[in-house]
């Protein structure tokens, strides 16, 4: 039974990166994008409901970030909502190499927005939950 985490991250990266820069855990490199996706935490359990085979239950949190530089009331949450819709359409039928996806579900934790005197950051989250065989 092989840990599926790296295969899931690769599938998400491959699905998302052509539309939005996608990073594992943190933004890397010399570029500071103003819209990007972080493949954040992963939780997994082994489902032993069937004695003939075990299934993986894996939840992966995607952090969708929109940054607006400037003072005052800059930017809009609408762009982040549009980004969420685009990402969801890219991953809604995701397949994982080496595994059979038995079920896909999605959760949407509360947004996390922040503002400073020089920047406004809007963050939406998608939790992708997969049952794999």
108 by DSSP, 3-state: which?
coil
Triad 42, 112, 127: Cα angle to 5°: 30
| The model's pTM | 0.91
CATH value at residue 20: 3.30.2000.30
**Is pLDDT of 51 > 90?**
no
Q: Quick one: what percent of the chain has pLDDT higher than 90? A: 72
Host domain of residue 17: 5-132
Provide the angle, in degrees to the nearest 10, between the axes of the packed helices 5-16 and 77-91.
Answer: 120
pLDDT in tens, 83-123: 999 999 999 999 999 999 999 999 999 999 888 888 899 99
Phi–psi pair at 20, nearest 5 degrees: -140, 140
Q: What is the DSSP string of 115-133?
A: E-SSEEEEEEEEEEEEEE-
Count up the domains in the chain and report the number: 1
């Amino acid at each position: 039974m092989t840990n599926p985490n790296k295969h899931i991250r690769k599938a998400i990266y491959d699905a998302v990166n052509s539309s939005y820069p996608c990073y594992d855990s943190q933004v890397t490199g010399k570029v500071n994008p103003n819209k990007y996706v972080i493949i954040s935490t992963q939780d997994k359990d082994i489902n032993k409901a069937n004695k003939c085979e075990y299934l993986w239950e894996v939840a992966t949190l995607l952090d969708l970030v929109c940054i607006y530089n400037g003072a005052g009331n800059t930017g809009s949450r609408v762009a982040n909502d549009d980004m969420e819709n685009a990402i969801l359409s890219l991953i809604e039928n995701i397949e994982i190499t080496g595994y059979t996806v038995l079920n896909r579900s999605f959760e949407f934790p509360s947004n996390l927005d922040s503002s400073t005197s020089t920047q406004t950051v809007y963050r939406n989250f998608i939790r992708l939950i997969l049952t794999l065989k």
